[in-house]
Chains A and B, each alone.
Chain A
Amino acid sequence: MMSKGKLKQILLLTDGCSNEGTDPVAVASLASEYGITVNVVGILDGRSLSDQGMEEVQNIARAGNGVHQLVYSHNLPKTVQMVTRKAMNQTIQHVVNQELKHILGEQEEMDALPPERRGQVVEVVENLGETLALDVLILVDTSASMKHKMASVSQALRDLSISLQSRAGENRFSLWTFPGMRDSAELKMDWSTEFTSLDQWLASLSPKGTTPTGPALEEALRYFAGGDVWSDQEGLLEDNAL
């Protein structure tokens, strides 16, 4: 079962609240309109993320149709993998539900089917999750407070690629850090099927103390747009008969 459709995700890793430029929640809303989900992993310290920061993490993911998770840095690898997979399933499930509405009428979603008949739908969702192509743009906060979390971040990203490479579908990664030297965010790795020299890129921290999450997301969205991403998400299931 092959499909021209592609899953597009932005994965934001941050430990603080944005303090410069556009509202990141607005940018996430925009991204979701174009079929790009925005997932956020909020990294906690010994002392926890501020209430404001936690709320922002949640709101960005909600607006971006994505998944969010707060986590201590030593649990990062498993979380990043889980968030990515959950977001994939959520997106696919959303699309499958849309299809079900077409087939079964306006009110019908998967939950409206009796449990005995859900099995087949689940089969379709799991099949798509395994075979669809996936693009993940990873956006890492490299402000000063992230310094001692970078080892965990690079471990988590390597771990993510181990997981995704075990899928049948094609995967591509791109790595961005923010704030950048000149712009709000900086491209570290162009679309590629695996991570190379990750440690080297993540070792260099940004000199600026600001956290321009909104403008960085804008940058990421613009970069995603450079590719073939503007094809409508509705086309995802074109080749897949339910």
Chain B
Amino acid sequence: MRSEARTIRGQWHGRTYTVEKELGRGATGIVYLVRRGNNRYALKLGEDSISITAEANVLQQLGKAQGIILGPSVHDVDDWLDPNTREKKPFYVMNVIQGTPLTSFIQHRGKEWIAVFVVQLLHFLQHLHDKGWVFGDLKPDNLHVVDTPPKVAWFDPGGMTKMNRMIKEYTELYDRGYWQMGDRKAEPAYDLFSLAMIVLALYHGEFKVKQTLNGAERERLLQQKVINHIPQKPYQQVVWKGLSGRYRSAADMKKEWFWAWHLVKGGPDQHRRHQSANMPGRTVHSAQAQSAPAGHHQQFDHQQFDHQQFKDQHRMSKPRQRKKRFRLGKAISFFFISSFLLFLFALLLFTQTM
């Protein structure tokens, strides 16, 4: 059965768009891939003109601040009279964000990319928060990776909320209110919870929770998941601090994520030995958790998560560097002494032959 090509024509600006296919459905409307002339766009068609106008507003205000990472920008805002229902429907038109969904990119290219995208997202959030906006509905479904070099891009502004207001739209798993780890007031820590949860979900896969769990049980469940599923301890620490709302700004989290990355990549030998000594898929941390006495839940030592701890751990790598430098110095002096001796010997030979 051939479906009839649908066109959407704006009542105010008179532009006509040909619908090619549906891209996705959100709480406020349906997004279509459309064509106008030789250009392709994404068109969001809604029912309620308040929410459509609000979203287009956000995008237009952010338009000037774009450039950190790729996101949608608005080309047209208009109404369309649906000939079937005779209803007037508001819509806005934006650029198409192509690329691979974040989750499948990580599945194909490896978990080492997680750290890269976290930094990119933190950089983006930092700018967004400075502009007075909170993303709100931050989740893997709203993130794509556009390639060469791979860079994370966002779409769906439905959750964008002005600072200090009530979060407009959220997804339970990534919502700190649902986890009873805080309220739904738009503030930087709200987005940082979602981002930490994205990291956990990228390592673990998305998961569900029994509704009957109370607040304390939910928190403990999250701790367990962080310990058991994120293999690198430094990342565990930053993720947990993000989940428990202990970063006040994206800049703080970015700083500590960098320390963590440094520890994972170039840090003490000890860490690498741990990883290689373990079976793939089972980390030293989960092994520890399992060897703990039954019924005893391994808890985080909160003391561990201080920034000081990061610095201390960082310092741990310094003596090693000094040792390296010392060895290098030794080699250089050995070289000089031996070449001096060689010179003396040559001089001796020279004077003898004279």
Chain A residues with CB under 8 Å of chain B are 74, 77-78, 82, 85, 89, 93, 110-111, 114-116, 118-119, 121-123, 125-126, 130, 151-152, 155, 159, 162-168
Q: Which residues of A contact B56 (CB under 8 A)?
A: 115
Q: A111-B79, A162-B177 are in contact. Are A167 and B166 (CB under 8 A)?
A: yes
Give the residue of A77, A115, A155 whose beta carbon is less than 8 angstroms from that of B53.
A115
Chain B contacts to A: CB under 8 angstroms: 12, 27, 49-50, 53-54, 56-57, 77-79, 88, 90, 162, 164-167, 172, 177-178, 180, 183-186, 211-212
B52 to chain A, nearest CB (A): 9
User: Shortest CB–CB separation between residue B164 and chain A, in angstroms?
Assistant: 7
A152 to chain B: closest residue by CB: B211
Task: Say yes or no: A93 contacts B178, CB within 8 Å.
Answer: no
Residues from chain B with a CB closer than 8 A to the CB of A77 are 172, 178, 211
Closest A residue to B187 by beta carbon equals: A166
> What residues on B are CB-neighbors of A118 within 8 Å?
49, 53
With A77-B178, A122-B50 known to touch, is A116 a contact of B77 (CB < 8 Å)?
A: yes
Q: When the two chains form their complex, are residues B49 and A111 in contact, meaning their CB atoms are under 8 A apart?
A: yes
Q: Which of A114, A115, A125 has most B Cβ within 10 Å?
A: A115
Complex contacts, A119 vs chain B, CB 8 Å? 53, 57
A-B contact count (CB 8 A): 67
Q: Which residues of A contact B178 (CB under 8 A)?
A: 77, 159
Given contacts A110-B50, A168-B164, 7 further A-B contacts (CB under 8 A): A111-B79, A115-B12, A115-B78, A130-B165, A152-B211, A159-B177, A166-B183
Question: A227 to chain B: closest CB distance in Å?
Answer: 24
In the complex, which residue of chain B has the Cβ closest to the Cβ of A86? Answer: B48
Q: Are B177 and A130 within 8 A (Cβ)?
A: no
Alpha-carbon gap, A212 to B4, bound state (A): 49
Q: A78-B172, A151-B211 are in contact. Are A130 and B50 (CB under 8 A)?
A: no
Beta-carbon nearest neighbor of B183 in chain A: A166
Contact for B57 among A89, A122, A130, A163, CB less than 8 A: A122
Question: Which residues of chain A are within 8 angstroms of B162 by Cβ–Cβ distance?
Answer: 126
Partner of A151, one of B90, B185, B212: B212
Give the docked Cα–Cα distance between A165 and B90 (Å).
31
The distance in angstroms between the C-alpha atoms of A125 and B165, with both chains bound, is 13
Choose among A82, A122, A166 the residue that contacts B185 (Cβ–Cβ < 8 A). Answer: A166
Q: A122 to B54, Cβ gap below 8 A?
A: yes
Q: How far is the CB of B139 from chain A (nearest CB, A)?
A: 14
When the two chains form their complex, are residues A162 and B50 in contact, meaning their CB atoms are under 8 A apart?
A: no
Given A115-B90, A119-B53, A166 and B79 contact (CB-CB distance below 8 Å): no
- Of all chain A residues, the one with the shortest Cβ separation from B91 is A115
Contact A162 B79 (CB under 8 A): no
Given known A110-B49, A122-B50, A122-B54, contact A165–B183 (CB-CB < 8 A): yes
When C-beta atoms are compared, the residue in chain A nearest to B177 turns out to be A162
Residues in A neighbouring B165, C-beta threshold 8 A: 126, 130, 167-168
Query: Which residues of B lie under 8 Å from residue A78 when comparing CB positions?
Result: 172
Which single member of B50, B79, B172, B185 contacts A115 (CB below 8 Å)?
B79
On chain B, the residues within 8 Å of A165 by CB distance are 183
* Partner among B53, B167, B172, B211 whose Cβ is within 8 Å of the Cβ of A122: B53
